[in-house]
A and B are shown apart, each in its own frame.
Chain A
Amino acid sequence: MTDWDLRRIPSAYWVVGALLLMMPAISSNFILFSIFGWALILGMIALSLMFLGGYGGMVSLVQMTVAGVAGYMTAILGDSAIDAISLGWVWWLAVPVAILIAMVFGTLSGALAVRTEGIYTIMITLAIATAFFYFARQNYVVFNGFSGFNQILAPEAFGVNWRNPVAFYYLALFFAGLAYFAVLYVSRSPFGLALQGIRDNPRRMAALGFNVTAHRIAAYTFASLIAAVAGVLLVWQTSSISPGAISVGPAIDILIIAVVGGLRHPVGPFIGAIIFVLLRTFALDALVAVGLAGERFQLLIGIGFLVIVFWSSDGVLGLWQRWRDRAGRTDPLTGQQKDAG
Chain B
Amino acid sequence: MVTGTPNRSPATGTANALELRGVSRLFGALAALDDVTITVMPGEKRAVLGSNGAGKTTLFNCITGDFLPTSGTIRLFGEDVTNFPAHERIRRGLRRTYQISLLFNGLSVLDNVYLACRGVSRSRFSLLRPRRSDSLIHSAEELIDAVHLTDLRDNLVAELSHGQQRQLEIALALAGAPRFILFDEPAAGLSPTERSDLIEILTNLPEHMGFIIIEHDMDVALRVAESVTMMHNGRIFKEGRPEEIEEDPEVQELYLGGGHE
Contacts and interface: CB of A to CB of B under 8 A. Distances in A.
Interface residues of A, number: 32
The binding surface of chain A is classed by DSSP as helix
Contact of A208 (B108, B119, B130): B119
B154 interface: yes
A218 interface: yes
A188 B129 contact: yes
A190 B129 CA distance: 7
B103 interface: yes
A190 B126 contact: yes
Contact of A207 (B90, B112, B114): B90
Given A2-B131, A206-B90, A207-B86, A190 B104 contact: no
A201 B104 contact: yes
Contacts of A201: 102-104
Contact of B119 (A3, A191, A209): A209
Contacts, number: 112
Contacts of A188: 129
B107 A196 contact: yes
B124 interface: yes
The binding surface of chain B is classed by DSSP as loop
Interface in B77-107: 85-87, 90-91, 95-96, 98, 102-107
B105 A215 contact: no
Contacts of A211: 85, 87, 124
Interface of A: 1-3, 185-186, 188-194, 196-197, 199-201, 203-212, 215, 218, 338-339, 341
Interface of B: 64-66, 85-87, 90-91, 95-96, 98, 102-108, 111-112, 114-116, 118-120, 123-132, 154-155, 172, 175-176
Given A188-B129, A208-B175, 14 more contacts: A1-B130, A2-B131, A189-B126, A191-B127, A200-B107, A201-B104, A203-B102, A204-B98, A204-B102, A204-B104, A207-B95, A207-B96, A207-B98, A341-B111
